[in-house]
Homo-oligomer: A and B are copies of this chain.
Amino acid sequence: MNKKTPWTQTVDLDPPSLENNTGDVDRLAAALKKKLGADAIDIGLPVLRALPRRLREWGYKIKCVLVRDRGRWLVAGIKAADDPSPTAGIAIDLGTTMISMRLVEIETVEIEKVEIGKKEIKKKEIGKKKAIAEISFENPQRAVGPDILTRIHFAAKNENLKKINGMLVDGLNKKIQELCESAGIQTDGVFMLTVAGNTAMTQLFMGLNPRWSIREPYIPVVNRPGIVSAAELGIRVNESARCLIFPNVGSYFGGDLIAGILFSGLHKKEETCLLVDIGTNAEVVLGNRNWLMACAGAAGPALEGGVTQMGMAAAPGVIDRVVINADDDEIAIHTIGDLPPLGICGSGLIDLVAGLFLTRRIDIQGKFEPEKCGPRLKEADGIKRFVLVFPKDSETGFELFITQADIDSLIRSKAAMHTILETIAAAVGILFSDIETFFIAGSFGIFIHPRSAISIGMMPDLPVEKYKTMGNSSLGGAVMALESCDVFDEIDAIKERITYMELNVNQDFMNRFSASRFLPHTDAARFPSVKR
């Protein structure tokens, strides 16, 4: 797995002569085969059309961008050997809610490992081994529906499938254009795309009907889409560009999670580690370099922006951190970009509920304790709410609050999450304390504070050092896939090694779930560090 074949190969062809009159394309293919020790070189029509003129302009010295899919090498573009313009790739995390893209210079072997998850476009000096720019934006399919189910139902009709696929492709093209402009490169300079998304989003991206992936027995159209022509997918970058689409292990364990495993390095660890991706679904992978066990289950929408009344996806102005003192009415909040608060995202919500619980403002069932809450607790139409930000301090001019219903919903989510973790650990026969590293990923996971997650009993009570928050690991994995064309082998190996465990909602599961519906847990002895 340590082989790193560069994305570009420069070959110096013997110029043709009467004695050596092989065709241009065959000449190039033969040289590449020899250089790479390859059996087959796939050169598409756009390269065939451009090659003869270019070869002569460039004096038969040519740089090819190549991607390998198992034993086959596919030419993803051609350049003059001395062309100084950057050879770029774009990694795409195709989230249901948000889409993130990173433009990377792929020509040199090493890619700087930059922290994932910054929300604004970053301009960086164009140079070697650099991430050039990044962009995040709302999935344009949200116009059809915020949740994936609505979109899948919408896409059932063929014309609607085309429409919703077009929304996404058009949106991607627009943002790719912006991304390239912000980095000062031409879209034509983009030769590789790597796309990681959940199974449904991946199918909608490819124009495949995902309707059967949500009905028993939950069959996706394709598990391993492989490498597809970007042009065929409607993506406007270099006309010969290729698109590596992350494989999935099923309808509920998508390419985004395979990308997450790749990014975490879990599959190369000697000791057993656990990766949890937190979203509407809780997706969990337990394993090491010898085995990988995965499962996924609905965690409920509590952590998804827009579900709780004040909930939002992480964005400038959104509260991502909350600290509550026991004896003080002051509540410290932090917003992304230090702007006046607009709403609250998943990590802020977990902090808030953890703080309310640790300061006894809510009880172990999550019910408000009026005498502890003081004047921040209000009630209207029989619904209690705890005010986090008063109107004068908010960007909107309205108060920001959390209701009893929001807390109940979060507790159900955290209980589901914890139950899933317990179930997979029990299935494998491992104790939480035996887990070396506990990776937390997900667009909501970017900002989750392990201490708060432990306090509410969402995550097991392990030393905080064992937790590693990874931010958007799906994007991280997609960026890693741009490191060299050998990474696809690693991705395939991960996919092949995963044993997917179906979560049976049996009596054991329900017993665990019920016990987890307290803060931090019915059995407080499991959370010795949680004191209030």
Contacts and interface: CB of A to CB of B under 8 A. Distances in A.
Which of A16, A218, A228 counts the most chain B CB atoms within 10 A? A16
Interface string A194-214: 000000000000111101100
A48 interface: yes
A31 interface: no
Interface of A: 16-18, 20-26, 39-40, 45, 48-49, 51-53, 56, 70-72, 206-209, 211-212, 216-225, 228, 232-233, 248, 250-251, 502
Contacts of A25: 221-223
A13 to B, nearest CB: 11
Contacts of A23: 219-224, 248
Contacts of A248: 23
Given A72-B40, A212-B56, A24 B217 contact: no
Given A45-B228, A72-B40, A250 B207 contact: no
Number of copies: 2
B21 A222 contact: no
A232 B231 CA distance: 11
A79 to B, nearest CB: 19
B250 A48 contact: no
Q: Which 9 pairs across A and B sit closest by C-beta, in order of nearness? A: A25-B222, A23-B223, A26-B223, A23-B220, A16-B219, A18-B217, A23-B222, A16-B217, A52-B221
Nearest to A39: B71
Contacts of A39: 71
Which of A20, A207, A220, A233 counts the most chain B CB atoms within 10 A? A220
B206 A18 contact: no
B216 A52 contact: no
A40 B206 contact: no
Contacts of A53: 209
Query: DSSP class of A's interface residues: helix, strand, loop or mixed?
Result: loop
Given A40-B70, A45-B228, A72-B40, A24 B216 contact: no
A517 to B, nearest CB: 28
Contacts of A21: 217-219, 250-251
Nearest to A222: B25
Contacts of A72: 40, 72
A209 B48 CA distance: 9
10 contacts: A21-B217, A22-B223, A23-B248, A26-B222, A48-B221, A48-B225, A49-B207, A52-B211, A52-B212, A72-B72
B221 A24 contact: yes
A216 B207 CA distance: 47
A164 to B, nearest CB: 14
Contacts of A22: 219, 223
A161 to B, nearest CB: 9
A220 B219 CA distance: 47
A17 B221 contact: no
A94 B92 CA distance: 44
Contact of A222 (B24, B209, B224): B24
A24 B56 CA distance: 45
A49 B208 CA distance: 5
A48 B232 contact: no
A422 to B, nearest CB: 23
Contacts of A17: 217
A96 to B, nearest CB: 20
A18 B209 contact: no
A220 B220 CA distance: 44
Contacts of A52: 208-209, 211-212, 219, 221
Nearest to A232: B45
A322 to B, nearest CB: 41
Given A22-B223, A23-B224, A24-B212, 10 more contacts: A18-B502, A22-B219, A24-B221, A25-B222, A26-B224, A45-B206, A48-B208, A48-B221, A49-B206, A52-B221
Contacts of A71: 39-40
